[in-house]
Amino acid sequence: MLKRALYFLSFLILFGCGSAKKKRTYRTPITVSVEGSSEETPTLEKPKKEKKKNSKVEDVIATAMTFSGTRYKFGGTTRKGMDCSGLLYVSLKENDITFPRVSYQMAEEGKRIKVGQVQKGDLLFFKTSKSGKRVNHVGLVVDVRGDDIKFIHSSTSRGVIVSSLREGYWNYAFVKAMRIL
């Protein structure tokens, strides 16, 4: 017992003495100033083709967003009701882009891309039917933040809405992404 008490006492002395906090002093920060040159630095602008493409993408997205809240109607292409491919067909057509009317035909157009390469304006294709063997749903990417991809589409239950590919249902039903713009 005495041996144990001595061991405990020596432990406290050994580790207890160094526990006081040391006051730290910092020297004043050094500031460095660099004089700029009198020459103007050229700004790096995006090529005209890329600017035009981004503008077209934004226009298509803006058109699609005007249909938010429109009820779902199979085969519909008006504000009274529309289906998923109708939404994209109208949004593209109003921006002078001709495209097939139905989702499985849309899925054959453009360039296939990986999910990690998805950008605004790309199309996402889904198989939502349990027994279906082909694409039957499509959405337009409206925002990408890290691995969260938001897309606008017309769902049978809620009409034209923006959803996330991270949602379990859409993530499970996802088939492929295509770039058309």
Confidence of residue 138 (pLDDT cuts 50, 70, 90): very high
Q: Which amino acid, 110?
A: G
Residue partners of 101: CB distance under 8 A and separation at least 6: 85, 86, 89
Q: 48-65 and 84-93 helices cross at what angle (nearest 10)?
A: 130
Would the pLDDT of 10 be above 90? Answer: no
Q: So what CATH class is 51-179?
A: alpha beta
Annotated catalytic residue, options 137, 140, 151, 154: 137
Q: Is residue 45 annotated as a catalytic residue, yes or no?
A: no
Of 20-29, 54-63, 146-155, the range with the lowest mean pLDDT is 20-29
Q: Which among 65, 64, 71, 76 has a CA at the least distance from the CA of 156?
A: 71
Every domain of the chain and the residues it spans: 51-179
Q: Is residue 17 annotated as a catalytic residue, yes or no?
A: no
Annotated catalytic residue, options 63, 123, 140, 153: 153
Q: Is the pTM of this model over 0.85?
A: no
Its sign, for the CA torsion 181, 67, 70, 117, is positive
**Cβ contact 141:150 at 8 Å:** yes
Would the pLDDT of 150 be above 50? Answer: yes
Residue 107, CA atoms < 13 Å, CB-side half-sphere: 17
The DSSP call for residue 113 is: E
**Cβ contact 137:129 at 8 Å:** no
Annotated catalytic residue, options 60, 61, 84, 124: 84
**pLDDT tens digits, 67-115:** 999 999 999 999 999 999 999 999 999 999 999 999 999 999 999 999 9
180 in the Ramachandran plot: left (φ > 0), alpha (ψ -120 to 50) or beta? Answer: alpha
Range 131-135 contact pairs with CB under 8 angstroms and sequence separation of 24 or more: 134/104, 134/107, 135/103, 135/104, 135/106, 135/107, 135/175, 135/176
Q: Is residue 35 annotated as a catalytic residue, yes or no?
A: no
